[in-house]
Amino acid sequence: MLEAAYHRLPQPKDSERAKTYIPRHPSVTPASYPQIQAPIVTNPAFWERLGSDTLSTDMLFFAFYYQQNSYQQYLAAKELKKQSWRFHRKYNTWFQRHVEPQVTTDEYERGSYVYFDFHLADDGAKGSRMTSHLNTTSLRMNCQYSQTRALGA
């Protein structure tokens, strides 16, 4: 009996809830249009591949801002973090150091930063530079994903 149980050990994926896709804004589409979400967008390897291509950074920003409270938002944030982008909670904006900060303390840092402004519609949104005094307690340094929050539970 122990040997039979050994061959059927629980796997980590056994404790995960099945991910079902429910569109936020359902609309009638032609039958030729895909009716279900492509499985690749829930694959972390896909997002890693996007993160390795500097031209795909805009796609990561798009996923972060327009796929809110989803697993895709978490994966996009994780890849942006790998590229040294840091999210400022007060400004709801991603910042990246342009050069090393002039002043760094436990509470803040002062220096030149590149930031992504999703409110701007033109190509100048990313790459805008500013010199600023950023409060480091408002910068989110690690990414956490709560599946219950994303599922609306």
Torsion angle of alpha carbons 131, 136, 142, 145, nearest 10°?
A: -100
**What is the pLDDT, as a whole number, of residue 132?**
58
Long-range contacts at 15-23 (CB < 8 A, ≥ 24 apart): 16/147, 17/147, 17/151, 19/71
Q: Do residue 79 and residue 66 come from a single domain?
A: yes
Q: Do residue 91 and residue 123 come from a single domain?
A: yes
Q: Which residue has the higher pLDDT, 129 or 119?
A: 119
Q: Do residue 135 and residue 122 come from a single domain?
A: yes
Residues 6+ apart with CB under 8 A from 76: 47, 60, 61, 63, 64, 67
CATH of the domain at 114: 2.30.30.1020
Q: How many structural domains does the chain have? A: 2
Average pLDDT over residues 54-83: 89
pLDDT of residue 136 exceeding 50: yes
Q: How far is CA 87 from the centre of its chain?
A: 10
Residue 62 structural domain: 38-83
In a domain, 2, yes or no: no
